[in-house]
Chains A and B, each alone.
Chain A
Amino acid sequence: MENPLEHFELHQLISLSLFGVDISINKAVVMMWIACALVFGFFYLATQRRSPVPRRVQSLAEIAVEFLRGVITENMGPSGQKFFPFIATLFFFVLFANLLGLIPGSYTVTSQLMVTGFFALVVYVISLVVGFRLHGLHFLTILAPAGTPGWLLPLMIPIEIISQLARPVTLAVRLFANMTAGHIILIVLFSLMLTAPIYIGWLPFGFTVAIYGLEVFVAFIQAYIFTILATVYLGDAINLH
């Protein structure tokens, strides 16, 4: 294969523009629709014919929802439950987008920095809005951790400002880089197999299978990390450290 990054290039399927803004349909957009449809379909299936003794799909959905509720209570306190719809949407969309990308021939939406960057920006803006609404200007004390001696403040405040500003950036880049790197590794290993003669080609092929398994795991853990960090950031805004 000539260029392992070729897979990540997006080409317009249908060119559209609205008021001068490019809203063309491309592979990523289609994959996002599919991810939305799958999340919706999964929960539609899970809530059909509900029973006190859950069947397979229903118990899977219940486990996922209870797990997310646990994460929220742990990181945001009981008052964080009103953010449950937002956090759950974020988690399931990122998870399904990650997993969909692992199907050969499909496209990983979360390997676009634009997508993850927008998620991270939304999380960060919501945390700022919530912080200022709950605490007013008192929210700015988040820049000076409790118990900081006065003479350290000129040093601590710039550091805290930088660490605050780094949050959305790292949140976005972490997901993007993990997804991109995983798929590049798969492509490189697989093209090694294709170019190698058969008596040695099985070796990179075996690695490809093993790394594929790791990628399935990474898809879950990155969705989990993204959600957990979103709850931590929102929890910081609610509880002020």
Chain B
Amino acid sequence: MDSAAAALLGMGIAAAGFGGAGIGIGYIFGKMIESTARQPAAEAKVGKYMWIGFALVEAIALYGLVVAFIIMGLRK
């Protein structure tokens, strides 16, 4: 395979990491809704940790982007 084509393929495959982050964000918001439904008084407290978790999960997806950047930098 042409190395330029392989680099493009690799950059595309790096985007697959977003799938995992999608599952993670789904879990976070689902669990948030679930816990708020059970204990509405805890919403403010849980919500704070939800946003932290959301940002952490989102950042993990973006490591895929960094991998894509690295491949882009290596390709000639």
Contact = CB atoms under 8 A, between A and B. Distances in A.
Interface residues of A, number: 14
B63 A222 contact: no
A30 interface: no
Interface stretch (A123-131, A175-183, A197-205): A175-183
A58 to B, nearest CB: 25
A102 interface: no
A170 B63 CA distance: 9
Q: Which bracket fits the contact residues of B?
A: 10 to 19
Contacts of B55: 178, 218, 221-222, 224-225
Tell me the interface secondary structure of chain B in the complex.
helix
Contact of B63 (A177, A218, A225, A228): A177
Contacts of B58: 178, 218
B52 interface: yes
A221 B52 CA distance: 8
Interface string B40-66: 000000000001101110110011011
Contacts of B65: 177, 180-181
Interface string A44-65: 0000000000000000000000
Contacts of A181: 62, 65
B59 A174 contact: yes
B52 A225 contact: yes
A25 interface: no
B62 A178 contact: yes
B59 A178 contact: yes
Contacts of B66: 173, 176-177
Contacts of B56: 174, 225
Interface of B: 51-52, 54-56, 58-59, 62-63, 65-66
Given A174-B56, A174-B62, A180-B65, 4 more contacts: A173-B59, A176-B66, A221-B55, A222-B55
